[in-house]
Structures are given as C-alpha cells and as structure tokens.
Structure 1
Amino acid sequence: MFIYFIFGFACAIGHHAFYASLNGKPANDQFLMLRYGTVLAFASKAGLSVAVIVAFQQRVWTTVRRRVMSIAALDSLFAATEDLIALLNWELFKNARIAILLAVFVWVSPLVVILTSNTLLVEPRTIVTNTTCPGVRTLNFSFEDTADWRKPARIDQLFEIPASLWNTTKPEGADPPEGWFDYYTAPSPSFQRTATIGAFLEQAVMRKNAQVETCGSGWNCTFEINFTAPAYKCTELASGVGSKPVNLTQESGGSIAAPFDTDILLPKGKYSYYAFTSGGEYSTTQMKDVGIGGKPISDPPYPKNFGALRTEPVVWIGYSNIADPSKPVPQNPSDPGWDTAFIPSLFACENYESHYVVTFNYTDAMQSTKVTNLTFLRPVVNTTYLPHIDADDGTADNVTANPESNYIFPQDVARYRRTAAYHSLGFMLRYFLNGTIEMEDRSLVNPVANTNAIQTKLIDPKSNYFPRPGLAGLVQNFYEEIIMSMLGNPQFVAVVWAAKPDQQSGGGKTFLPFDEDEELETAHGDDGDADEDDGERFLYPCTKSRTANMYHYNVRDLWIVYTIAILMSLVGVVFGAMAISAEEGGKVRDTLFSSIVAATRGPALDKVRWEKHDGSFLVGDDGNDGGSVHVAEDVKKLRAGYGLLARGEGFGSSVIGLSASSASSLRQSIKRGGYYYGFGLEGDVQQIRVRRGSTVF
C-alpha cells in the first residue's frame, strides 16, 4: 500500500518534470509527447488507486469485524470497487462510510488521466530573440567619391552602379592634355527606375529575398542602421486664407521669397496643389556646342563655372486641404461657407546632408521602415538662389547663387561626385513633386493634374485628388523612402555591409566579403564564391521573431488535480494503516478467493437455506447449472458478520468482556481448535476489537 502510494506520487512528480521540460519549446512530436504524458498520468493514477484499493480492503475487513450487516450489504461492500451499482446500497452508508468513500475515489480516479492530459497545450506564441543577422546592408555615400565610371568596381561578376551619369571634357587619345574633368549630367537610369518603383509602391523598395537572406526562413526580424544621406528639411511659411508667406532664411545667410502666395490656392484661387521645384536646377546642357559624351567642341580653357553645382533647388509647395472632411463641401464659390471650406498652406524644403537612424522590419515577407532619428547636418550646396539674374559666365547654365565661393566644382573630384549623387536623389523627388492640380471649373469635379505627384502617396484619390493632410511631413518621408529604396538594389555604389560600412556588398549573394588586401574587382576570384566563414564577419545585431506552435504547460491545473488525488489517496492510506493496526498482530488482509473461502469455512453458515424456494440449488435463470447464479432474496436479508465462532453451540450472548488473562486463555483455546474466525449470522458470531491491555468481544 505504501509502496503503491510512493510510486503514484513519484509518477506525478515525473509528469510535472516532463511537462515542465517541454514548456516554451517548439511543439515537435506532439502526439508522442502527449502519449508520454498520458503514460505518466496513468501510472500515477494506477499507483494512487491501487494504494486506495489496498486500504479499502483493510477497511472492508475492519468493517465486517465491527458491524453486522445484511448479506446483500456484504455483497455490495466486497464488490464496491468492481460494481458501480453496489454503491447504491443505503446500508453501506450507515455502516461502512469510510470504505465507501475509498471506493468512490477508485471510481473517480480515471479523472486524473483525463484532466491532466489537458494541461499540456499547444498554442501559437511569438518567439523573440536578440541575435545577429547576415545580409544587413546600409548606405555609405563616400564610395561615390571615388567611383570611376570608366573602371567600375565589380563584385561577383556584377558591376557597381553609381547614382549619376557623367559627361567629360576628356578627348579621345592615349595622352590627353592636363586639365580635363568629368562633370555631372543626370541621375543614372538604374536609380531613376528604383526611385520610380519606390514612388509607385508608396514604400521603400525591398531587396529580392531580403527577409530569407537576412532573417532566415520562417523568421521575422528587426534591425537598426545608421548612415549619412540627403534629407529635405521643410519649413512652413504660410497657413490660412489670405496669409502671406514669410521669406525663407537659408544657412548661407541669404533670404529668398516664395515664388507664389496662397491666393492661387483654394478657396481664392483654383489650385489644390501647386509645386515649383525647378528654380536653380542644374542644366544638363552646360555648353551649347558639345560632341559625343558632352565634350565641348571648343578647346580649353573652359569657363570657370563649367559643370559647377551652384545651388540645390528649393522645393516650394502650396496646397489646400478641406477644413472639415465630415461636412459637405460647397460645390461653387457662390455657395455659403466656400471661403472657410479650405485651408491653404505653403511650405519650402531644402536639401540637407543628414544623419539617419532607421529601423527596418521584415514581417511575413513585407518590409517596413521607420526613421527613428534624423539630424540635419549641412545644406547639400550652401548657397541662395538668385532668380531673374543672368549668370553670363560663358556657360549655358543660367543659374546664379550667392555666395559663389560655395559653388562645388568638378575639379574637387571627391566632394563633387558625392554632391552630384545627392543632387540626383533630390532631382528624382523634385521630378515627382513639380506641377499642379487645378480645379478648372471651380466645381471640384474632374481635377486637371499636371504633375507626377498624382502617382504618389502624397495625393489622395479618395478625396477628389486633394493633397493629404500634413503634406510637408509626407514629402520628407517620401524622399526618405526614395533614398532607402537604394538598398533594394545592392549593386548601387553606396550600398555597403552594415557590419562593415567600409566594404561594398555588391548585388550577388548574401555574403560577398572580400580580402581587404586584394583589389575589389577580383574580390572573389573567377567563380565569385565567398568562403563560408566570411559570413560571420558580416553578422549584424538584430532582433528575430517568429510565431510558432509552442508547448504551454498549465502547472496550476495539473497540480490542482494531482493535489486532490494525492491527498485523497493519502487519507485512504492513513485509514488503511489504521485498519491494519486494528488487526491483532497488524496483519494485512485481502479479498482473494482463498481468503474468502477461509472466512466462510465451517458449519456456522450451514443452517442457512441457500436454495431458492423451487428447491433447486443455486440454479441460473435458465434452469441450468452455471447460469446466472442468484441467492434467494430472503437469505440476502439475513444479517452476518465476521468474528469468533465456537465449534459447539455458540456464545449465547452478543458481547462478552474478558480480562487480559481470560483473553490469553481464549487465544490458547483458539489454537487448540475450540474456536475459529469466520463469517457467521448475527447471534452466532462475536466480533472483537483489539485494545491495549484487553480484548473485547
């Protein structure tokens, strides 16, 4: 009994330990793990149940030694753990309450297996781990400083692509004269394509297979990169009907007036969107007479400002928003409320070299970006454009700006090339922004768009193509997304490894490191394969996450079940131990066939007529021996008990008290065969209780 209890308790502990070891782990081999848990639960239930069954057997014998009950009640008592119907005998609840409670536990013990099986669940859970990721890229525009379009760098057989196209003054020939230089022409076709895709997608372009390469299959990931790149700094100059825009004061010390005011915007004017972005734009025709590749026909020396980046155009945008979108908008200027139905605003944006901190997130094959910090460092070209003033400097570029000393010249190669890259990025933004949206018939229907902005997220087609609220911030964000779209094509010169910003990544495989002592063009040899160990050099801090089926162990539920079961089993064991201690000599009883035969031997029960009234002896319902055997109903009403029986006439009284010396003499008489233990009818059997110092019959 005690061993069974300890075994059941140990299996419960093992069940807990097994489930605890699975908690929070991926739900692999679910059915196998649940089977293991069920085996442990069944073993625990079996151990605790058997311990109670043994205790029940001891209580049965204690009960029949102390109580006289009907034969029917004795039948139910001995069958209580085998026949559920036996528990319905009311006499048992009067004379054998403890035994019945133990039997009830045996019947409900299967609930241990049923209830504990539901404590190990499988649930979707997001796993988050701080680790490192391969394939993370960032931008480093210092590589534009040295990018040579004549000898482009090549990584994994793919050429690096600059952001700009170039013309040159260098004549053909092996020994050109000194003083030649390359000068800027326009954004490169590759960058124009990338910027256009980003504008149409309304988000930064994602590199193909970026999530798998960076996060790994089945994972999402987040990482933060920082880099220096251009950004537009926008300043509001006017807001409200009739407001007059203030001048834009620039870092160069100059001040410039807006080229238009809010009167051209709704409600006074007819435009819902008006953008002027070409003031001071670099002319792609620097000299009138040039040959192939932009080489001037004339001989040097060339004009001083030939190819110079004189200023960076300011973006001027005026727009009107509907004051209250929840209210009907007046359809005609003569309608009441027309003058208050729209809010005109005007702002200006300058191109600044800036420091970015950007968070990238890859989730379910989708990329999202967020600029968490943006610090404006300096203007890309620190001059103030002077409109309506001719340059008259011998070039075809009629742009004048102050101070001229801040012009950036082609002879300053590194600075010029990087500024040209910044200018190319800004040019693509201005290309999309420039133009107008006009409400031609003033009835707010059929707006006339003369701008590429209508193809971007800046204009809301659901609101009759009015600009979206907060347009200045959206313009800044739009430019940021154009710049970050460069990461979608790692062949761009400025794209580098985030872990090693001084090394270009190339557009080939995930890991394309090269030996710093070798030339970039031959970084990986002819086959373009990188060493496997090189990947570790480019691991970058990131946070990986994924939603997966995980094991979840309900410790509380399991131990509620086991605590109840163990306590009930322990109580049963205690009652069983008390029953054993009540036995003379502390003997353990059982209900084996041999024990029942031994308890019913002798002539004490021979006087009972066990036959049915038809005279047949223990016959079945069908009249044949071996059928369904029944004892006569009147016999079942007889009361019997277990105790001491005399081989003669019996004791003649129900209770006899003996002294300790008399009890000793009785034991000797039992040994000589004068008395024996067994079942007998009420009046024939004397039930004993062992107490310290005496025996009571």
Structure 2
Amino acid sequence: MEQYDPYPPQGDANERAPSPMRVERVISGAGSVASNASTGSRLRERIRRDMEWGSKLHWFLPSAMIGLFILGLLGALLHHWFYVSLHGKGAKDQLIMVRFGTAFAFFTKAALVGSIVLAYRQRIWYTLRTKPITVKGIDNLFALTEDPTGFYSKDGATRAKVATLMALATWVIPLAAVLSPGALTAQLSRVESTADCTVPAVNTSAQNDAVQDQPKYGVLGYDLVYFNNSDPPGHDQYFGGTGYLFTEATNFAFTLKKPRDISSPCKGYNCTWNAVFDAPWYECHEKSVSEARNAFDTMDWVDIESRHWAPRSQVTLVAVWDGEEYASQQPLWNGSDNMQGYFTGEPTIRVGYVVDTGIPVVEGSVDSDSGLWKTVLEPHWLSCDLFKASWNVTFNFTGTPSARVKTSNRRRLFEPPKMGPTHPNYRENALYYSFGKLVREKLRGGLGVRNGTSDTRRISSYNPLVNVTTRMAINDVKGGVEKLVIDLGLTLLTFPYLDIAVNTSVGCTKWRYENRFHYSPQGLWIGYTLSVIATLASVLVGMHSIYVNGITSDTLFSKILVTTRNPTLDKLVREHEGVCLGGGPFPEKLENTRLLFGIIDNGSHTAFGIVDETTVMLDPVGYRGLINPRWGHSTGP
C-alpha cells in the first residue's frame, strides 16, 4: 500500500514518488498496541497525521457554541429578572412590557437553538464517520434543522438517534418563545397599604365644659342636651331636656335599623380602622326561668294590666323600666334644701318575653289556653342598666360600611343618691340620661301580641325586639337591645359639629383591587429549564464529537464539496444521467445506497464511500488514528 502525501515536495512531477507505508499490527482486546517506534517518534507521527488529516482544532466554533449557550442562559435570566421587576406593580404600558418579554424570549430561543445547531453539525459528521447511512438519510441529516419532514427518515430514527434528538430540540425550543411571555399577566390584585387617617370619635366628658350659648363650632355647633336657667337667676343651669339633634339622630338610627353611614377617610379605597372612645352602653343580664315566671306574676308590667302573658292570653313581649325618672317639671328653688335639676336615679330596663320551646302542650292544660297554643311557651326576663363604657370599634368599608363593637371598662356615671348641677360630671350625666331615655322610649314603643285583634296592627307599631312575622320575641333579645345602643352611638359620629365631637388620628388599612402585573415563575422556567438542559446536553455531545472527529466542521457547501471529491461517487452516479449535474428526481437506487465518511482509496484521502471500501476514523487508543475495525490494523508510516 502507498500513502498519499498531501504536501508533496516542490519540483518536477517525475521526481515525486509515493512513499512506502508501514503497517503496525494492533493487539485486540485490552492489550497494548505493538510498536517498534519510540515514544518520541509516535508523538511526531501523531502531530504529522493531525496536520495531514486536518485535525487541527480551530477555536472559533467551540467558542461560538459555548458562547451562544451562555447568551441563551443569560437571556433567560434577564427575562426572569425583568418579570420579577414588574411583579406586583401597576399594569401600565402592558403592550410594551409584553413586547419586551417577547424580545427576551426570542433572543433566548435564537441563542440556544444556534448553540444546538453548531453542536448538531459536529454530531452528524461523527455519525457519518461511524454509521453507514443511505444517501437519502444523509440528505435528511444535513437538512433536518431546516426541514421537519426529514424526521420521517428511517435512518435518522435507527442510525442517528442522538443527532435526531438534537435536531428535534431545535424545533421544540421555539415553543418556549411562545409560552414564556405568558408567564406575565395582568390580574386584579388586592393592593393594601397603611396610613394615618383622621376619623371621627366622641368625647362625652367634653360635655362638662360645654357652654350652651357658646358652641365649640360657632354658629354650626350643636348640643345634644339643653339646660334651663335656675330660679332665682345667677345660679347654676340644670338639665332641661333632650336636644332636637339628639332626637333626629335617634330617628335616623331607629328608622334605618342601622347606623347612619359614616364618611370614609380613605377616598377611592376600601378601608379598615379602629377607634376607641367612651360612650353610653346598656349592659343586660338574663334572669332565670323561675325568676322570670315569678316576675310575670308579681311585677308591674304596665301595658298588660288588663291582659295576660301568653299562653294565658296574647302578649308575647313587653319592655318597661323601673326607677325614678327625671321630671320634666322641676321643683322651684328651695334654698338649702334645693332639689332643682337633681338626678336621683337611673331607670333599669326590664324586658319580659316568652319563647316557643317547640314542645307540644298537653290538651286541656293551662299552657294550651283552650287549644289556642299548640306548644309550650317559656317565660324570660332581661334586666338592662346604663353604664359609661369604653367602645372599641372596628370600622370596615368594603362596599357597604360595617362596624364591630366591643365594650370594656363599664362603670356607672350616676352617683346615688343624688347628683346636682354643681357636680363636675353633671352635664355629662345629663347626656347619658338623654341617651338612655331615647333607647327606653323606643323599646316601649310597642309590644308583642299574637293571635288576637291586635295582631293585625301595622308592623311599625311593634317593638323592635319582636319578630314582625311570628309576633314572638326575636332570637337574640339581648343582642337586639345592644344593637339599638350601637346604632344610636355610631350615628352620633356622623354629626361633625357636636360639642362632644372630636377628630382623632388612627392607623388605617387601605386596599382596593387594581390591575397589577403577576409573574408566575414556573410558567417561564418550565420551558426555559428544559431548553437549557437540552442545549447543555447538545453542547456536551458537540464537544465530544469535535474531540473524536479531531476537527471542527460545518455543513456549508464548501465543506460538502471538499469531502465528496472521489472517483467512488463518480462510479455511483455514472449510471444515472444528469445526477452528477444536480438533476432530479434523485434515483431511488442511489438514495438507498449506504455511504460512510472515512478513508478511501487505500488511505490516499478522506471522502464519502461505500462501506466495503471505507476505513472508519476512530480514536480507541488515546490518540487520533486511522483504524479499520474490519482489517484490525492501523495505517502509519
């Protein structure tokens, strides 16, 4: 055999002669290569062969492959950081932000796919060196990253699995460019903040310092109570009655059956805040059934003197009070024994009512009232006293305003046995007394009556503690009394010019629903992670292919041109007219011919050839050599 010298000496062609080739036998298995050459001569031979067969690696393609991978990874990270910077912010300029996200996605896709394509080109040359593939299969491999119909190739699925997967990745990765911008959406989000808000409250103690003729807010000012001048003149004023505005506030609360709406301090937002202030409060206690039954028989219930409690008659609920009322007509001035304008008591509210137990009555018994009542009615008695209490109110403005009230530190303002106009808390007690009187009068404004002619009376005439449908007591009588108190107390906050009105600064929580950017990282990174992993695996395969091939290559026409120059292909196409000129259609027989890229013409040069005349180029012993596994020997000088 003669070895072709790609770098012949200069001179006359006749003087050039092929140099002889030495053949070294290779021991199969794990044995070492038998060689008579020294280590230095083998190294020199390797360098010479690297130069001879073009195995000198160029830096550009590996750098471009790794560089594009790094750029793709950087593009994914920049895309992520861009979306993180938008997360939770107002969804402004949505179209521009989506365009930026799309630009990042396509940049990342282009860089990763570019890296895979460069690696893929190295892999297909490795595959062509090691696997005989049909001409059609070779066509498909060279066009697979551009023409998806090439995936139908049988050779690609069976003889070029890794290369086919790499090409498939170049078609799948662009989906990340389509899906990843969807990780950023605009959603209605609850936007919450805190602030110091100025909110209304009351200071009932300020009533002690109020001057009736000089209201705190000038001509706009109001007083909830009014005072008479003493007789003779010059003495202290005394309580004269409930003011007009107090009555109006009561009408608002009791007619609406809820507090008058208060203005929100958080314009344009839902709002929550907490206010603490002192205000009147009725504390109620439920008596036992036995006490209630005894009270029904012995106490003066006023409105049922001529009637009887159900089931013996028709009355189901009555509210009264005991204790001495403040007289509207006060006694004349009486010197040292003067009692003009004195408070001598604070009435206690009593609410009596019956509850339907649902237990069937015994026919003919007293409980049935000759068959009028079908179930047993149980007596109840509620006792309520007026206190000064600390109100802790949580206001919530979410659509419809609402408030939740908790009370503590309940104490009596009236000091028995009497409190006169000279007492420092007299005016405040007059305010509390008026509040209690308005509640008492409302509770006494009607009674529960069932199964009689009075049952047809207008609903408005019934007590607020009576269920207007059943004419029995409401389920929570104690809560019903407290609701009346709360409704009136909160209504007072809606009058800003009262002498007891104050503005206080509290911390409030504001929120509303706004269109905000929402970033879902998993929506971005699921596609990017798979793309990066596929690209990294392809880069590693490409680097391995470069190492094994010994060169960096491409699929440009010039590369194909220089690798196909040989008489073997001339023989194959000679039978088919026009094929050598690129004519079509390509003959099926030629399409199915398997070719291998390796050493042909007994080692004279490398090119595509049929399997029987091509030597595989491998590196099984740690250095680049030209080994034909069928012959079991290597070529060398």
Say which of 500, 503, 509 aligns to 1:494. Answer: 500
Per-residue displacement from partner, 1:456-498 (whole Å, max 9, x unpaired)?
Answer: xx3333x334331121232023212211211111112212122
CA–CA distance in structure 1, aligned partners of residues 441 and 176 of structure 2 = 73
Letter in 1 for 2:449: M
**Kept in 1: contact 2:224–2:498 (CA 8 A):** yes
Are positions 1:333 and 2:369 aligned together? yes
Per-residue displacement from partner, 1:385-405 (whole Å, max 9, x unpaired)?
Answer: xxxxxxxxxxxxxxxxxx3xx
Q: Which has the larger radius of gyration?
A: 2
The verdict on how the C-alpha distance between 1:482 and 1:322 changes in structure 2, with shifts beyond 3 A counting, is: same
Higher relative contact order (CA 8 A, sep 6+): 2
The verdict on how the C-alpha distance between 1:241 and 1:449 changes in structure 2, with shifts beyond 3 A counting, is: farther
2:553 equivalent in structure 1: 589
Letter in 1 for 2:555: T
Deviation (angstroms), 1:189 = 1.7
1:63 equivalent in structure 2: 127
Are positions 1:15 and 2:79 aligned together? yes
Letter in 2 for 1:229: A
Deviation (angstroms), 1:141 = 1.1
Letter in 2 for 1:631: F
CA–CA distance in structure 2, aligned partners of residues 464 and 266 of structure 1 = 14
Say which of 380, 397, 414 aligns to 1:381. Answer: 414
The verdict on how the C-alpha distance between 1:443 and 1:164 changes in structure 2, with shifts beyond 3 A counting, is: closer
Partner SS, residue 436 of structure 1: coil
Question: 1:99-248 counterparts in 2 under 5 A?
Answer: 99-129=163-193, 131-154=194-217, 159-169=220-230, 179-207=234-262, 210-211=263-264, 214-217=265-268, 219-239=269-289, 243-245=293-295
CA–CA distance in structure 1, aligned partners of residues 577 and 223 of structure 2 = 115
Deviation (angstroms), 1:612 = 6.5
CA–CA distance in structure 2, aligned partners of residues 441 and 486 of structure 1 = 39
1:553 equivalent in structure 2: 519
**Kept in 1: contact 2:311–2:373 (CA 8 A):** no
Provide TM-score, normalisation by structure 1.
0.72
Letter in 2 for 1:197: F
Deviation (angstroms), 1:602 = 4.8
Partner SS, residue 148 of structure 1: coil
CA–CA distance in structure 1, aligned partners of residues 198 and 245 of structure 2 = 22
2:421 equivalent in structure 1: 410
Partner SS, residue 204 of structure 2: coil
Deviation (angstroms), 1:60 = 1.0
The verdict on how the C-alpha distance between 1:339 and 1:677 changes in structure 2, with shifts beyond 3 A counting, is: closer
1:543 equivalent in structure 2: 509
1:632 equivalent in structure 2: 587
**Kept in 2: contact 1:120–1:553 (CA 8 A):** yes
Are positions 1:577 and 2:543 aligned together? yes
Per-residue displacement from partner, 1:16-46 (whole Å, max 9, x unpaired)?
Answer: 2223333344434334333323322222222
CA–CA distance in structure 1, aligned partners of residues 267 and 509 of structure 2 = 12
CA–CA distance in structure 1, aligned partners of residues 388 and 256 of structure 2 = 25
Letter in 2 for 1:571: A
**Kept in 2: contact 1:611–1:617 (CA 8 A):** no
Per-residue displacement from partner, 1:373-421 (whole Å, max 9, x unpaired)?
Answer: 333111x4344xxxxxxxxxxxxxxxxxxx3xx2x22344x42211111
1:460 equivalent in structure 2: 467
Partner SS, residue 395 of structure 2: strand
Deviation (angstroms), 1:5 = 0.7
Per-residue displacement from partner, 1:587-641 (whole Å, max 9, x unpaired)?
Answer: 221112222233334544223337868999766xxxxxxxxx5312222122223
**Kept in 1: contact 2:215–2:499 (CA 8 A):** no
2:385 equivalent in structure 1: 350
Per-residue displacement from partner, 1:324-366 (whole Å, max 9, x unpaired)?
Answer: 4999xx99833386350x33312221111222222222212x2
Say which of 678, 686, 689 aligns to 2:607. Answer: 678
CA–CA distance in structure 2, aligned partners of residues 591 and 373 of structure 1 = 86
Letter in 1 for 2:589: D
Deviation (angstroms), 1:302 = 10
Deviation (angstroms), 1:190 = 1.8
Letter in 1 for 2:571: K
Unaligned stretches of 5+ residues in structure 1: 171-176, 248-255, 288-295, 384-402, 500-539, 620-628, 652-665, 667-674
**Kept in 1: contact 2:579–2:586 (CA 8 A):** no
Are positions 1:51 and 2:51 aligned together? no
**Kept in 2: contact 1:197–1:205 (CA 8 A):** yes
**Kept in 1: contact 2:317–2:466 (CA 8 A):** no
Are positions 1:319 and 2:369 aligned together? no
2:330 equivalent in structure 1: 286
CA–CA distance in structure 2, aligned partners of residues 30 and 439 of structure 1 = 65
Per-residue displacement from partner, 1:516-555 (whole Å, max 9, x unpaired)?
Answer: xxxxxxxxxxxxxxxxxxxxxxxx2223333334444333
1:423 equivalent in structure 2: 433
Partner SS, residue 466 of structure 1: coil
The verdict on how the C-alpha distance between 1:196 and 1:278 changes in structure 2, with shifts beyond 3 A counting, is: farther
CA–CA distance in structure 2, aligned partners of residues 39 and 195 of structure 1 = 66
Letter in 1 for 2:530: I
**Kept in 1: contact 2:358–2:375 (CA 8 A):** no
CA–CA distance in structure 1, aligned partners of residues 572 and 534 of structure 2 = 40
2:318 equivalent in structure 1: 274
Letter in 2 for 1:196: N
Please report the RMSD computed on the Cα atoms of aligned residues, expressed in angstroms: 3.5
Per-residue displacement from partner, 1:134-178 (whole Å, max 9, x unpaired)?
Answer: 2212211122112222122227xx6221111333347xxxxxx75
The verdict on how the C-alpha distance between 1:578 and 1:603 changes in structure 2, with shifts beyond 3 A counting, is: same
Deviation (angstroms), 1:195 = 2.0
The verdict on how the C-alpha distance between 1:278 and 1:161 changes in structure 2, with shifts beyond 3 A counting, is: farther
CA–CA distance in structure 2, aligned partners of residues 373 and 161 of structure 1 = 27
Deviation (angstroms), 1:54 = 0.8
Question: 1:55-94 counterparts in 2 under 5 A?
Answer: 55-94=119-158
CA–CA distance in structure 2, aligned partners of residues 553 and 258 of structure 1 = 72
Deviation (angstroms), 1:570 = 0.9
Percent identity reads 26
Letter in 1 for 2:607: G
The verdict on how the C-alpha distance between 1:127 and 1:465 changes in structure 2, with shifts beyond 3 A counting, is: farther
2:617 equivalent in structure 1: 688
Per-residue displacement from partner, 1:567-603 (whole Å, max 9, x unpaired)?
Answer: 211111000001111123xx22111222223333454
Letter in 1 for 2:502: V
Unaligned stretches of 5+ residues in structure 2: 1-64, 629-637
Per-residue displacement from partner, 1:265-289 (whole Å, max 9, x unpaired)?
Answer: 32233212211247533233336xx
CA–CA distance in structure 2, aligned partners of residues 644 and 187 of structure 1 = 117
Deviation (angstroms), 1:4 = 0.7
Which has the larger helix fraction? 2
1:434 equivalent in structure 2: 444
Letter in 2 for 1:27: A
